[in-house]
Amino acid sequence: MATSTPRTKARATESARRREIIEAATEVFAQKGIVAATVRDIGERTGILSGSLYHHFSSKEEMIVEILVPVLRRQIEVFDAIVAETEDPDEILGRLIVAAVHQTAANPHVARIVQNETLRLRELALDAVTSLQTEIMARWSSAVTQGVAAGRFRADVDPRVAALSIADVVLGAYRFMKPMGRMSANQVAAQLSALILRGLDTR
């Protein structure tokens, strides 16, 4: 049976500490905003001296990238899997909405950061984050465009405006789910899907 070496234990401790810092930073950025939040705030949340945090992360920006990139990449993977499974515009958009709401439910602090800090993220030139955001918006816009082309969605709707609106609505869904609200992710997803699809429907 393999035994843990001191180096292996050190790496495990380092990894666990980074996860702890990231969890605390996610909450702080969501609550205070990227600009107002300080390394000291994050240190106080984790019980680590702010100077010691720089042993794990070089800057707030590095933390932001580590917080957002995995979640955004996962959303793209889920979206692409949905699109690969069906060509029906209503089903595609409906399933994208459901998937996005469930991701918001699983990562409410991340959703809050993305919704409230998009302009700030661009100002910080965090290309690893903003490029993924652009990809996600392209998928929302493509879903609407396909529906319009198929005659299922209203032709007077600008796909980009619709995409931006839908993305903002699903990000803000955290307000209706626990701990802020009382509804389940399935309930919120069903209501938002119905509202959005009915608003786009030509029938």
CA 75, CA 171: separation in Å to the nearest integer?
Answer: 12
By CB atoms closer than 10 A (0-12, 13-18, 19+), residue 123 is exposed
pLDDT at 9: 55
The 10s digit of each residue's pLDDT in 21-68 is 999 999 999 999 999 999 889 988 888 767 777 778 888 899 999 999
The predicted structure's pLDDT at residue 45: 87
**Separation between Cα atoms, residue 147 and residue 155, nearest integer Å:** 9
177-186: average pLDDT: 89
* pLDDT at residue number 176: 94
Dihedral sign for Cα atoms in the order 119, 120, 122, 128? negative
pLDDT attached to residue 18: 86
- 189 and 98 Cβ atoms separated by less than 8 Å: yes
Q: Which fold has domain 1-58?
A: Arc Repressor Mutant, subunit A (1.10.10)
Residue 6 pLDDT > 70: no
Structure confidence at residue 103 (pLDDT):
97
Q: Which CATH superfamily is domain 60-200 in?
A: Tetracycline Repressor, domain 2 (1.10.357.10)
Q: How confident is the model at residue 8 (pLDDT cuts 50, 70, 90)?
A: low
pLDDT for residue 14 is more than 80: no
**In the chain, where are the structural domains located?**
1-58, 60-200
Rounded CA-CA distance 137/198 in Å is 21
The yes-or-no verdict on residue 5 having pLDDT over 70 is no
**Helix (H), strand (E) at residue 42:** helix 39-46
The string of pLDDT tens digits covering residues 125-158 is 889 999 999 999 999 999 999 999 999 999 999 9
How far is the C-alpha of 73 from the C-alpha of 82, rounded, in Å?
14
